[in-house]
Structure 1
């Protein structure tokens, strides 16, 4: 099943692509790869999930924030490629979680994004991944995620 069909089957509607908040582009294509800049957990109303996981937010709320990041990454993929069906494999994901100094559940939080990618792309959506903690993230967001995608020939 195609990724676009899978989105419909899952009842997912992608948000409008987030606009860059600095001097960078949301994506760049080179060498058969799509490099996606980091995105935050922007909600449908344009607001973002802010706070510190392990203090203001629990793991489930962090997971939901990471899922929002995944939806924003998918929106940027579609904008870059015209269709998610041009994706061959999600190669790498870097997930950054704004957490308390003793918070150690970054992998469970970033699963919110990678579970979504597997739902949409199947095994091709299961990336190599890093999930790291941060003392701060731009504008107080709880999670930021970037990705590298292999394109179909």
Structure 2
């Protein structure tokens, strides 16, 4: 088993690695849309109490996919190696149609299995998080 810490993806918000490789499988920890070196979240406006005032799910989706790609690259994997994606959305009714359209742009071929669930909240003020598994060739 080897632990992967990406030099490009945002720092984890807890005591966990970006990913862990076991044999030819790569398990990514939950990936959000933050940028490395910043607590700012793309497309999110917060009030003084750090509550979400508004957010842009499209910006967050693109940022999350980029962060997944960063982790895969730093682990020696490719986007096409993804075999399973679990998606956590905080507002399924509002955000799923936008997310689903963007997801289709990123996965035109080599589509991984996918599960999408709505959650009440995520650990930081974000609207989307991905949990991924890749099979490294």
Q: TM-score range by the shorter chain?
A: 0.7 to 0.9
In structure 1, list runs of 5 or more residues that go unmatched.
Answer: 1-14
Whole-angstrom distance in 1 between the partners of 2:62 and 2:120 = 21
Q: 1:78 to 1:92 in 2, by over 3 A?
A: same
1:23 corresponding residue in structure 2: 15
Any conservation in 2 of the 1:63–1:108 contact (CA below 8 Å)?
Answer: no
Any conservation in 2 of the 1:37–1:147 contact (CA below 8 Å)?
Answer: yes
Whole-angstrom distance in 1 between the partners of 2:41 and 2:68 = 14
1:88-123 C-alpha deviation (Å, 9 max, x unpaired)? 532111111112xxx4255424336633532xxx51
2:68 corresponding residue in structure 1: 73
Q: Does 1:62 align with 2:60?
A: no
1:38-89 C-alpha deviation (Å, 9 max, x unpaired)? 11112478311447xxx834xxx313312211100000111111x63xx653
Q: How does 1:112-151 map to 2 (within 5 A)?
A: 114-115=103-104, 117-118=106-107, 122-124=108-110, 126-151=111-136
Consecutive aligned runs of 4 or more in structure 1 exceeding 4 Å deviation: none
Q: 1:20 to 1:43 in 2, by over 3 A?
A: closer
Residue 64 of structure 2 aligns to a residue whose secondary structure is helix
Any conservation in 2 of the 1:91–1:127 contact (CA below 8 Å)?
Answer: yes
TM-score using structure 1 length: 0.66
1:48 corresponding residue in structure 2: 41
Quote how far apart the aligned CAs of 1:127 are: 1.5
Residue 30 of structure 2 aligns to a residue whose secondary structure is strand
TM-score using structure 2 length: 0.73
